[in-house]
Structure 1
């Protein structure tokens, strides 16, 4: 039997895999451990069986006080090179088998001699045993971002967690703090001991560093929220786009106008916070390629250099394939080129652009961009025509 309580499960029957909640921060000192302990206190106050599997307070009084009253599983001593170190006693936590275990520092590397090399592997064992886990991590410890963080801070992170471990978490909560507030916490001695404060403020905790790390953390967390929204829409069979952010899809034919469209799409996406650029090329199902691969590769490189993503989809009808993909990715706008068809062809058949406009409905805006390669003649349907503004306007 199970019942839900704030997204966590109380169990009295056969155990399923536990649920993982991760408090994600941009830098040390934002309050991840404090919030983790606060969650433990709230859960315990509602009658849930909560223990501290591992917690590091670094001598911070407020953090230590927040842990008061919570049961703590004693650490185990691990000898290594004539020195005794303490680690989480995984077997003791498993034997205690609480409903919820608080396990700090997901990226921690265990001392040699422990069963697992990494703490996230310990957490996986707890989850497999049906124990819910609340943990913490900083954005710089995600494997895919350690190079980016090093380029910003000049410090290489040796302890990392595969992104997929955190992405699979049932809940990810961003612990946010402005750069100014975090520097004040540092200056007041609430993060590091006095002898380390000046060096930290002058190096890792510079305002620019902290603002950049904060932005990275926000964007990574926003992407996880977007993934959750997409899963929900798929599960509920929702086809209409939800305009949670501007997502601009450029339909790339491979023709000479494609670079103009890509750059226009990038500018459109950049006008709003969190805007996203995507490009899609339709490969006809007959397998006949009408554009040389080197040209498509060049256009893919342009999209990726502008921070967008390039996609190839198959289909018999290019317009139908573009619209189907647009709804799959929750696009809010589609950018297409003005028709290169001559007037005679337009009299007898409907072009791809017209079909995209007519099929877009009321929930996707279609922008038709004129270019030198377009033949004279109009496109029918609800759309907006965007003429090029100047040669410089199409160069990013």
Structure 2
């Protein structure tokens, strides 16, 4: 079933906090829900579909439905693929709408890792805990999130000659955008030299190659096109959606590409457009290497040419030919609950509505792409891709 034109994003909201000492996790979910519904011009009473992921407290959807008083919901989904979960959720909401299971879908994301003083290995414990079947075979190698991404970066450098300086340009671009975002955690513009001279975290990745850890969250309201026509907000239509999983396959794995190779292909096929048609991209940026590989796997450049593609400001809005993460992304602005896919979709919506900061707004932006990966590129992970259009 094609989802091209099956649903529209009517509301989007990003929580302004980056450290929520005075708010519970459930409260953050409820506040972003209210913000997105207000943005759409709808109310909680209009919601008949609800979507969340593993960041929702308690029983997830069941707990949040009661907390928010959502009594009319007839369809729910709590699929979790980490950082890609909320990109994937938009496609799942569109599927539910197309199947007639709901007509107004609310998607909420929230997290408090800073306020809870979560340890750096929180995600490792979540995804690689003692009950996960592969853990006894992998734990002896003492992998962490950072060093598995470091392995991916090392492999890319070995295969294609990619350099630390090229990776640094991704952070530089993000910082150029973050300076205009009053809510960004890191608003200082940095240089390539700043990045490569920052402390080494997991060779070859430096501190400034890594994303921030933040509290907060965001929400989206996805609706049937007939409902979108009755609202006063610009229409952002879903044109393509794709999802995929990549496994380690018992160690027989090629670290030079990600599951985005397949999710992107499916989204472009559904949307009936090609990479050269895209005017803006939101790319999940857990690390700089993540962005570089996704750009290759999405077809914006040939495999192995990502280093050259991102260099010299090519990702800076108003300077390069493919603006990315114009809010500053996870590298500089926000990475709520380790599920940065939500903010990627929100910034796409801003760009398509013409509501991004004037200094980074892409002129006449009508076709944008959001992509997320979740888990770890160095192990098993999920990927999701959306193509969105202002109509």
Fold agreement, TM-score > 0.5: no
Instruction: Point out which structure has higher relative CO (alpha carbons under 8 A, 6+ apart).
Output: 2
Task: Specify the TM-score bucket, using the shorter chain as the normaliser.
Answer: under 0.3
Task: Find the structure with the greater CA-based Rg.
Answer: 1
Q: Could you state the TM-score of these two structures normalised by the residue count of structure 1?
A: 0.25
